[in-house]
Structure 1
Amino acid sequence: MRKQQYLIFDIETAPLDFDSLSESQQEYILRNTSTDEEKQSKKFEMALSPITAQVVCIGTQLMQSTELGGWEQIGRAAFSVDNEFEYGKKEHIKLSTGDDCFLTNEAKLLEDFWKLLHKYDQASLISFNGRNFDAPFLMLRSAIHRIKPSRNLMSGTKFNYPMHVDLIDELTFYNPSPYSASKRFNFDFYTRTFGIKSPKSEGVDGSMVGQYFNDGKIIEISEYCMRDINATWELFLVWYNYLKF
């Protein structure tokens, strides 16, 4: 029997410098706002789009099935961004968790990610909301840098896509509704419900990443991203063992 391989991935993003945008772009983002609160809200929302934000970290973990029916870890690392790095410069550091972290600029980070996916082209992907956020974000940021993805992360349809387990789709049975048994919840809610340690339990959440990045706290961002990876894998195991048919 061929061994199964799964690559868990998760990204963290931060808004681009608002002042780096053209006047027309700034006007577009702030259109129909009048108060400072509304303007700040629009700037905060920039982190959600690859047109107005950048990738600052990609967490990855490669798992492979064993002959005894368990799983073994083949690789695990964070790829993180320092905008001061010129293209090609790369630095390896160890996080407090013992995980490897590779610092570089965004273009090199994206190239390295696509090389990883090419190397493990038979590995199925695991994400939480990856089809709606992580996958299109990575592909569009790559195009902006004129980098060709090694895999089409958006192939297939909303209800049938190959080699990718998006847990938000699996846990809502591909039929999310605001009021039914398949109502969508956020990642923190799912992890706590299934008895998994939430990535937010150490005081960091996704809403803080932009400010952390501006403050140079890329190590803290990387460690938070790897906690996301841990929780995503554990949530996947719940689905795999009890809900996969």
Structure 2
Amino acid sequence: MNQAQKAKAFGALHQKGNPVVLYNIWDAGTGKAVSDAGAKALATGSWSVAAAQGYADGEKIPLEALVATVRSITAANDLPLSVDFEGAYSTEKAGTAANAARLIDAGAVGINFEDQVVGGSGLHPIDEQAARIRAIREMTEAKGIPFFINARTDLFLKFSDPDRHVLLVDEAIERAAAYAEAGASGFFAPGLSNQDLIRRMCEAVRLPVNIMMRQGVPDVKTLAKLGVGRVSYGPGPYRAMMEKLKEAAEAVFAAAGQA
């Protein structure tokens, strides 16, 4: 498949009630491993990609390094790739679209694009975030790529207490509607874990809803019954792998009497 065909196929994987499962990767090697395990598509996690290169999350990894990582993944694997792009390294519409274009040129078929102010506090106003999404969509249409813009809201991560999430759902639904109107392909609500609220979100939002697996989140089969269209794992795979690597190294050094 060419890139446009991959992008179309990736979009088709997002079905409410039959979610595409994305086990997040961070380089070409992990992309190959997850592909061999049976993945239908690949997705990076920003925290994982940054940590693997020695950087903190929050757009600390240089954009050039991120683009190089994307290019290496797509060169080594034929599966569609979505990139966790945080705030697109720009608060301006033109810069946002130009930076997203660099990922398309590197072979990506989609992004996660978040509404929190990276490096600051709070969220971008709805109209400003919608305008940035619209700028990306106009750029992708000019390129002829049905790019998957997974519009992420950080409402539920900013207020991590699950008991407060019921007070945030209406705003999240409002943001989802505005983002959809601007050209978003999906709606990502990391941090949301309550089953009733997830069901409410899926029923109210016309876009496929993405839920991130973490402690307290229902299993994939349950999420499917709630109407979720995409399930991702964020930094979980990286953290688990690094812990296994550390344990294995500790065992080697202990056996060698060098612990």
Shorter chain as denominator, the TM-score bin is: under 0.3
Judging by fraction of residues, say which structure has more strand: 1
- Normalised by the size of structure 1, how large is the TM-score? 0.28
- Normalised by the size of structure 2, how large is the TM-score? 0.27
